[in-house]
Amino acid sequence: MFCSCRIFKFCCRQIWKLFRRPGKWVFGALTSYALLTAVILAFCLLIYHSDKVPQNVFTFQGRDLFHLIPKMRKTTTLERSSCKDLTLLRIPDPTIDTLNKSLFCDDAAENRDVVCRWFFNQIGLEEGRSCDRPDDGYGVPKIVYYVIFGPYNFQFWHYVSIMSAKKIIKPWGLYVIGDAHPFGYWWKRAMKDVKGLRFVYREQPPKIANRTVQWKHHLSDLVRLQMLMLNGGIYLDTDMVVVNSLDPIRNHDITMGIIENGNMGNAIILAKRHSPFVKEWYEGYFTFNGSDYFINSLHVPFDMWQKNPGRIHLESDKFYRPNWFEADKLYNKSDFPWQNKYAVHIWTSSNPVPKGPEELKTLNTTIGQIFRYILYDDPALPKIP
C-alpha cells in the first residue's frame, strides 16, 4: 500500500502543476477531473480484487497499474460451467430457454443445488440458505431425481422406490420432475411420508433435435441427463429400489450398469456435476434417432464405454441382477441374495408386482422381502398368531 500512496501523491503534484499554469485553468480543471477519476477507479479495483491479488502485487510501479487489471478480472456469467451447459443443452431441446437462466448462472450457482433454487423460484419463495450444497467429501451429491412426463397414476411400487431413496440414500434433495403432478393415493402418501419430496414443473419438450418423439420415455431420458449435467446427483427410475448405501461409488465421474450385451442401463445413474461422459452422451442427441427405441439412451453410452472402459465405473451385477429374463427370482422364488446389491430393478412389466401392504403379509418371495425391508426394516414374513 506504500507504493499506492506514492502514486496518489504523484497524481496530486501533477494536478497542482496544471492549476498553476497561467491561462490554462479550465484545461487544468478538466484534466484534473479525468486524472482523479482514473485514480479512484484504480484504487476501487485494487480493493475489490484484493483477495485475488498476490502479496507481492503491491510492489508495482505506477506504470504497471493498468497491466494488473486484466489479471484481476472475475469470471463472467457466460464463462461459468452451468451457463456453458445451458447453451449445450438447448441444441436438441429449445425448451431449455424456458428456464430462469439466472438460477444457473449467477455467482451463487456453482455452490448451490440449482434444482432446489428452481423449485423455490416456482413457488415464489426466497431460497435463503435452503439450497446450499453440503460438502461431505464425495464427488456425486446426494441429490435424487425422478423424471416423469404426462399425468401419472402413482403406484405402490413407485412409493416403495421413493421410500428406499429416503431410507438408504438420505438425500439432501429429492425431486420428481415433470409437466404434471403425479396423482393417486400413493402419491399423496409419498408427499406425506417423505419430508422434502418436491415436485418441480418442467415443460415437456415437444421434439428432440427437431425430430418427432414416438416414445415418451425418450423425453425422460433426455431430461435426466440435463439434470445430472447441471447439478450432478443420482437419477432413479420409479421401478428401482435402493437397498444399500451408494457412498462407496459416489466418487466416480459416472456410475452405471450393463443390462445385457449391447445395452447400458439408464434406470440408475450416479454422476458428478458437469460430467464429461454425460456431456458427450448428451451430444449424441444432437442427431437423435427417433425410430430406434434403444440407440440414444442405451447403445450410445455402451459404445462410449467400449471405446474407453476407464471413463465409466460399472456396477452391472449390483444394479441389474436379477435381469429382466430372470424375473422369476424376484417373483417366484425367495432365495435370491439381494442383500449384497446396491439397488434392485424390479422389472414391473408383465410381472405380479405387489399392489399394497396387505400382500406383503403373506408374500414369500424375494420381492416381498425387499419391500418389507424398505417399509418395515424387516424382510421376514410377519408372524401371524
- Sketch the domain layout of the chain as residue ranges: 2-72, 77-320
> How many residues can be counted in the chain?
385
Could you give the CA distance from residue 96 to residue 7 in angstroms, rounded to a whole number? Answer: 50
Looking at residue 82, what is its pLDDT? 73
Could you tell me how far CA 236 lies from the centroid of its own chain?
13
Looking at residue 338, what is its pLDDT? 97
Nearest CA to 229 out of 278, 268, 267, 264 is that of: 278
Looking at residue 68, what is its pLDDT? 45
DSSP conformational letter for 112: B
Looking at residue 58, what is its pLDDT? 39
Q: Which amino acid is at 161?
A: S
Alpha-carbon dihedral sign for residues 200, 86, 205, 304: negative
Q: Which amino acid is at 16?
A: W
Three cell numbers at 70?
A: 486484466
Looking at the domain that runs over 77-320, which CATH code has it been given? 3.90.550
Going by C-beta distance under 8 Å and a sequence separation of 6 or more, which residues neighbour residue 269?
224, 228, 234, 235, 254, 255, 256
Looking at residue 64, what is its pLDDT? 46
Looking at residue 382, what is its pLDDT? 84
Looking at residue 42, what is its pLDDT? 60
Residues of the chain under the 70 pLDDT cut: 1-80, 383-385
